[in-house]
């Protein structure tokens, strides 16, 4: 039997699962759409993974629904996205000093020095700097998103497009089309506008040094990668598992958490078919009126969180303090 470690990253857009062996090799990776159903998507992903001749020795979770995932799976370690992405990039690209991450709904930048996170920033507000905006514009132009990057790379003269706001960017693109600019030049201009937006917002005042790693779903777009290289004057590395790096980092952290033959808290693959119940209630014990989230399985309560005082907690969650939570 092969010992493997499960990493799970549950975000608003995607739920990613990774199985990593003891040597740090990713054996399986899944990228699923969350579609507002994180619990069901976790179970769906677990059902799709192939566990023949495998023993799960450790589980790590991250992402905005990391506590939910930890309660359902029985995680050995729970970390925020900043930590998980930093661990993954540092492992796969030794010496990395800057991580550029753009997903479907948000973006972030992580600055590392000597393998330690020294600075970071996140942007969950501006749609013009995310993958969902690129998807929307590709759909409006009738271009498969898979062809977007290659078309942008064929541009000889990218047009200047306002990128501070998704509404202005779309209006500017339509105007450039009406003026007769070619599609490759418009797409390349959109890539450069998106990169300017990112650097002027998420990357503002950040000390961006190489090696630079670009990850998240948008890293698949070659046009965005080239726009970053043009703007920064640095080579941009896109790792093999760029779209599931949070899950990769969680798997690495899980391996560390159970080092020394510690027994994993993983509940087993049978939970893919279990019926979990998620509910919430408001605690009236003090003026804080905390909203408590509760996860149950059959007649038992697996976990509760959301209380400031710890009154309702029934499962200790090892959350790293002092870093950002998405």
Are 77 and 158 part of one and the same domain?
Answer: no
In a domain, 155, yes or no: yes
Do residue 228 and residue 202 come from a single domain? Answer: yes
Same-domain pairing of 146 and 268: no
For the chain, the domain total comes to: 2
* Whether residues 155 and 217 fall in one domain: yes
pLDDT in tens, 148-172: 888 888 888 888 877 666 666 667 7
CA-CA-CA-CA torsion sign (81, 87, 89, 92): negative
User: Do 76 and 56 fall into the same domain?
Assistant: yes
Indicate if 115 and 82 belong to the same structural domain.
no
Q: State residue 317's pLDDT score.
A: 41
Q: In this structure, are 74 and 168 located in the same domain? A: no
User: Same domain, yes or no, for 131 and 205?
Assistant: yes
Encoding tokens for residue 13? 């857009």
**What's the pLDDT tens digit per position in 208-226?**
999 999 998 889 899 999 9
**Of 131, 125, 301, 271, nearest in space to 214 by CA:** 131
Residue 312 lies in a domain: no
Domain that holds residue 194: 94-238
DSSP 86-147: HHHHHHHSTT--EEEEE-SS-EEEEEEETTEEEEEEEE-S-GGGSHHHHHHHHHHHT--HHH
> pLDDT at position 277, please?
81
Average pLDDT over residues 176-203: 84
Spell out a b/e string for 111-149, using b for 16 or more CB atoms within 10 Å of the CB, else e. bbeeeebeebbbbeebebbbbbbbeebbeebeeebeebb
Q: What DSSP line would sit under 151-163, residue for residue?
A: HHHT-SSPPP---
196 and 251 in a common domain: no
| Pair (81, 165) in one structural domain | no
Task: Check which CATH number belongs to the domain holding 83 and give it.
Answer: 3.30.420.40
How would residue 180 be classed by pLDDT, with cut points 50, 70 and 90?
confident
- Domain presence at residue 57: yes
SS3 content of the chain, % helix, strand, coil (to 5): 40, 25, 35
């Amino acid at each position: 039997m092969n010992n493997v470690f499960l990493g799970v990253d549950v975000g608003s857009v995607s739920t990613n699962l990774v199985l990593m062996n003891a040597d740090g090799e990713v054996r399986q990776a899944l990228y699923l759409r969350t579609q507002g159903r994180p619990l069901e998507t976790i179970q769906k992903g677990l059902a799709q993974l192939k566990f023949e001749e495998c023993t799960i020795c450790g589980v790590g979770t991250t992402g905005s629904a990391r506590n939910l995932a930890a309660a359902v799976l029985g995680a050995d370690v729970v970390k925020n996205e900043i930590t998980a992405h930093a661990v993954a990039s540092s492992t796969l690209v030794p010496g990395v000093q800057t991580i550029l991450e753009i997903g479907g709904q948000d973006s972030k930048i992580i600055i590392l020095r000597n393998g330690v996170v020294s600075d970071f920033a996140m942007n969950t507000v501006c749609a013009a700097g995310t993958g969902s905006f690129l998807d929307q514009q590709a759909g409006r132009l009738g271009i498969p998103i898979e062809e977007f990057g290659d078309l942008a790379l064929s541009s000889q003269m990218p047009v200047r497009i306002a990128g501070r706001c998704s509404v202005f960017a779309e209006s500017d693109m339509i105007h450039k089309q009406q003026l007769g600019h070619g599609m490759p030049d418009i797409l390349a201009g959109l890539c450069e506008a998106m990169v300017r937006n990112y650097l002027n917002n998420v990357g503002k005042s950040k000390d961006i040094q190489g090696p630079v790693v670009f990850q998240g779903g948008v890293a698949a777009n070659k046009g965005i990668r080239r726009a970053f290289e043009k703007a920064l004057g640095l080579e941009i590395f896109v790792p093999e598992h760029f779209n599931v790096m949070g899950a990769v980092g969680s798997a690495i952290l899980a391996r560390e958490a159970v080092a020394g033959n510690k027994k994993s808290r993983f509940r087993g693959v049978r939970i893919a078919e279990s019926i979990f119940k998620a509910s919430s209630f408001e605690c009236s014990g003090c003026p804080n009126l905390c909203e408590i989230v509760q996860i149950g399985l059959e007649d038992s309560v697996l976990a509760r969180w959301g209380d400031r005082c710890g009154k309702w907690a029934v499962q200790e969650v090892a959350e790293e303090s002092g870093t950002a939570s998405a």
